[in-house]
A and B are shown apart, each in its own frame.
Chain A
Amino acid sequence: MNLPLLELRRQPSRFIVATVVLSFLATLLMFLGGLLDGLYLGSTGAIRAQQADVIVYSESARDSFLRSRITSEQRAQVEAAEGVEEVGGIGFVLLGAQVPGETDIANVAVAGYETPPKGVPAPPPDGQGIADTRLEDAGASTGDVILVGPQQTPIEIIGFVDDTSYLQQSSVWVNLPTWRAVQNANRPDSTVSDDIVQALVVSGTGDLVTSIDTATAGATSTLTKDDAVLALPGVKQQGDTFNQIIYSTLVVVLAVVGLFFSLLTLERLGLYGVLKAIGASTRRLFAGVVLQAVIVAVVAFVIGSLLAIGAAAALPAAVPLQLTPARFLSTFIGLVVAAVLGSAVSLRKVTKVDPASAIGNAS
């Protein structure tokens, strides 16, 4: 027999208010987290998929592919650097693409590569590409020829790969000559010659960041894969902004739990007096309040999850919402911690209940 659990079971109506409010807040937390994850995953897929240790940009590029240019001389220096084992050139160009049979323009990032990212085969022949599954969602299928950019450069889609998008655009993985052709035709203001790539993906051993930048005498800026992800435009700011909103929402959860459980405690002061008189300790009674708050938070988590999953299914595909298991877990932990802290508001009231108040008390 467990008093707090029995109360939850036999008088659930007392907890409905807190549960409803917390469920909405849980939905919000998951929704916000899901958007953050969606934005993060959608922006960074192309870099996370690289099977390399570091990414080498030109020094003036401020760690952006689009601004970076690596010459063949610099590449030779990088290849000769200490610890370097494998070097591949890479280049991106962001363009609109017409998918056959679709009215909307799809956003693509045509990506030229030598070293295949995770899940991508060796570079295909000229004019063919492996697209991110986002493009499949936008209506493309294997064998389609998409027309890229203002010049409508054709690329035939020969397969799809998961989670490789770049800055919310679907990557289309092509060989380096095809990338240069697309770039030069559609971006005449920033053409690249045949010996140029935007950046290098490098694997090897030891402190590659230092050894590469030393080998090129500072002409390159080398970043670990994780740093390169954070250096993508918007990734850090989005993370900071959304996390600020998520933490504030958790504080609201804390306040709401504190509020409604202090009201519940207020209703139970008489009962607590009797229970203390017949031998209940403050610790035991307070543990009951905490347990109830945690259970309400858990129930709210379940309802909130279902609402968030429902909302995610109902939203248009363009909304970059992704619900990940990690997000469910962190939301769960956040809710439970906020519930425990929120219920602490009632501690003083529970402590102050005088067992002697049970006597001479008519109502």
Chain B
Amino acid sequence: MTVLDMRDIRKVYRSGDIDIVALDHATVQVDHGEIVALLGPSGSGKTTLLSIAGGLLTPTEGTVVVGGHDISEYNAKQLTEFRRENVGFVFQSVNLVPFLTAEENLLVVDELGGNKGGKAAKGRARSLLEELGLGHRVKNLPGQLSGGERQRVAIGRALFNNPKLVLFDEPTSALDTKIGEQVMELIRTEMKARDTAAIIVTHDTRMTHYADRTVHIVDGRLDAGTVTA
């Protein structure tokens, strides 16, 4: 079943008198449990695509349906709520709240939704962190964690609300190759275990074999995609 269904997406930015087409009739579907790698040079439009898929931007044209919600016409407030409940994000480096412990960085998702969470949420955060191999790090602040550990906490946060779709923006760019591979391995395991759909933006071809499919993007246009795993 399709979790993300983007059809004929066009995104045009206006810069002075010139229209810049960031995405041109892009169409992509991602199914349950499917991991798609989005590969392209900088400026190709992969950031824009990811932003639209996650409800951070609205498209100029086309429709976006995530988990049955058509978010193409959502206003900012609806999008905020949509993101909180349906999408998980893992960013490049600015990811965690620096003054919160690993555990609290997961609970922040609940806090932002105005839920008081309580014991149940705390238990879920702990078991998630343990699952990610961070059982001994729950009370540590981000500053006390290594780069790889920080990305693992970020993955935990992205999964905390059981989203249908998780979006990864260059999750390994700040890591060395070995740690990067460990993180990719973990992402794959977690996504598959939860049957969650994922898009991973990367420019590192060494990471693409962790995905089920690789989609190339050049100048705002997508190719059909190649099955990689």
Direct contact between A and B in the complex (CB less than 8 angstroms)?
yes
A1-40 vs B, CB cutoff 8 Å, 1 = contact: the mask equals 1110011001100000000000000000000000000000
Partner of A11, one of B47, B81, B99: B99
Q: Which of B28-36, B64-72, B100-108, B187-195 contacts A (4 or more CB under 8 A)?
A: B100-108
Once A278-B109, A280-B112 are accepted as A-B contacts, the answer to whether A361 and B94 lie under 8 Å apart by CB is yes
Is the Cβ of A358 less than 8 Å from the Cβ of B97? no
Q: Which of B2-10, B48-56, B126-134, B207-215 contacts A (4 or more CB under 8 A)?
A: B48-56
Residues of B110-156 whose CB lies within 8 A of A: 111-113, 117, 141
Is the Cβ of A275 less than 8 Å from the Cβ of B93? no
Q: Return 29 A-B CB contacts under 8 Å, by A number.
A: A1-B104, A6-B99, A6-B100, A11-B99, A273-B94, A274-B94, A275-B112, A276-B80, A277-B54, A277-B83, A278-B88, A278-B89, A278-B108, A278-B109, A279-B109, A284-B112, A355-B83, A358-B89, A358-B91, A358-B169, A359-B50, A359-B51, A359-B91, A360-B169, A361-B92, A361-B94, A362-B92, A362-B173, A363-B93
Q: Is B181 an interface residue (CB 8 A)?
A: no
A356–B48 Cα gap in the complex (Å)? 9
Chain B residue with the shortest CB-CB distance to A270: B94
- CB < 8 Å A-B pair total: 91
Is the Cβ of B51 less than 8 Å from the Cβ of A271? no
Is the Cβ of B56 less than 8 Å from the Cβ of A358? yes
A residues with CB within 8 A of B: 1-3, 6-7, 10-11, 270-271, 273-281, 284, 355-356, 358-363
The number of chain B residues with a CB under 8 A from chain A is 36
- Chain A residue numbers with a CB within 8 Å of B84 are 278-280
A97–B50 Cα gap in the complex (Å)? 87
A191 to chain B, nearest CB (A): 77
B14 to chain A, nearest CB (A): 16
B113 to chain A, nearest CB (A): 7
A315–B94 Cα gap in the complex (Å)? 53
| A-B contacts besides A278-B157, A280-B80, 6 pairs, CB < 8 Å | A1-B117, A275-B97, A278-B109, A355-B80, A359-B47, A359-B51
Is the Cβ of A274 less than 8 Å from the Cβ of B91? yes
A273–B141 Cα gap in the complex (Å)? 20
Q: Is B63 an interface residue (CB 8 A)?
A: no
Q: Is B41 an interface residue (CB 8 A)?
A: no
Is the Cβ of A271 less than 8 Å from the Cβ of B85? no
Is the Cβ of A358 less than 8 Å from the Cβ of B100? no
- Chain B residue numbers with a CB within 8 Å of A270 are 94
Is the Cβ of B83 less than 8 Å from the Cβ of A278? yes
Q: Is B175 an interface residue (CB 8 A)?
A: no
Is the Cβ of B108 less than 8 Å from the Cβ of A3? yes
Once A6-B104, A279-B112 are accepted as A-B contacts, the answer to whether A356 and B51 lie under 8 Å apart by CB is yes
Chain A residue with the shortest CB-CB distance to B104: A1
Is the Cβ of B81 less than 8 Å from the Cβ of A279? yes
A358–B97 Cα gap in the complex (Å)? 13
Is the Cβ of A271 less than 8 Å from the Cβ of B77? no
B36-50 vs A, CB cutoff 8 Å, 1 = contact: the mask equals 000000000001001
Is the Cβ of A279 less than 8 Å from the Cβ of B83? yes
A299–B100 Cα gap in the complex (Å)? 23
